[in-house]
Amino acid sequence: MKKKYIVKSLLAALAVVLILTGCASNGGSKKNDTEGSSKGSGVVNVFTARHYDIDFAMFDEFEKKTGITVNEIKGTAEELVERMKREGESSEADLFITVDGGVLNYAKESGVLQPIESETINGNVPAELREKENHWVALASRARVIVYAKDRVTPDQLSTYEALTDEKWKGKVLARSSSNLYNQSLVASLIELNGEEQTLEWSKGIVANFSRDPEGGDRDQAKAIVAGIGDVAIMNTYYVGQMLHSKDAEEVKVAENVGIFFPNQETTGTHLNISGIGLAAHAKNKDNALKLIEYMTSKEGQEMLTNGSFEFPTNPTAELPELLKGWGEFKKQSIDYAQLGVHNKKATELLNKAAWK
């Protein structure tokens, strides 16, 4: 059955509802199709803030295996959560997918998720990558690391996030803006580990060592390194993997000229964040929703995901792509991902105080 791609728009909520109604009529039924799902049919409505091609490919594969149609409703995480809150029991959402542990915690605290009850999922995803009451589970993780110019920096010159404030990095550090959630969550993790005062001083030290005002995304930081604008950048690992496998020859060239360093291996470990999935509080296609989570967290699903996105799989049985194997094992921060949300407001305040633009 062909997938129905549904374009999300909060400004046209009624139109979206009508579209969903049309999808349901084409797919068979809008009611909770538990009888149909047992026969490998029906639908599952996924509210997603992830917009990666590999996700779409996974949904296609799931449809082929089960006959269950995946309807995607896209938007920002905040928009989707607010819509689910507003619509309450009438919400079409069966699943919610987003990036960042703090955002997943926000969804739970907003009352739009319910516990995921599946021994299969519990077996696929380790406890530390599941919310303590099972309101969400991680689909993938990503490390926020130090990326460096291979021709100007050697790994033995690097050590910790904190060391990037040293005088030797004056005018050599690159990063995205303070409005970027990845940076906010990194700072939130440092607040959890080191406290507010120390984290504020770190933020000021990073700002003092910037080679330019923050601009662009993670890929732009790598490009700036190769252009000689800076020597080191704070980036997520998967961007380097995606650039190395890009159809754009210039992106490949950039990625080939930067190295990845996992900081804080002798101290608190490298900052890790997640992409995750939660079961909607009023899911009308609950059985189908659980089947999709089970597939996405299975060995097969996880290998498909990591080979497409170069994020780290959360199922420990999944085989890593050769690139990720080459990066080797590394020590990870040991914190509750929910704390990224708890400390987000304070992290934003500290970044503003530090004049991190």
**Nearest Cα residue to 94 out of 318, 291, 321:** 291
Is 239 marked within a binding site?
A: yes
- The enclosing H or E element of 37 equals helix 34-38
Are residues 107 and 77 in contact, defined by beta-carbon separation less than 8 angstroms?
yes
Tokens (6 digits) for 261:
């360093």
Give the HSE-up count for residue 343: Cα atoms under 13 Å, Cβ half-sphere: 25
Is 161 marked within a binding site?
A: no
Are residues 7 and 74 in contact, defined by beta-carbon separation less than 8 angstroms?
yes
**Nearest Cα residue to 211 out of 199, 228, 223, 187:** 228
Q: 24 in helix, strand or coil?
A: helix
What are φ and ψ of residue 330, in 5° steps? -150, 155
For the chain, what is the radius of gyration of the CA atoms? Answer: 21
Residue with tokens 């380097």: 240
Annotated binding site for Fe cation: 51, 238-239
Annotated binding site: 51, 238-239
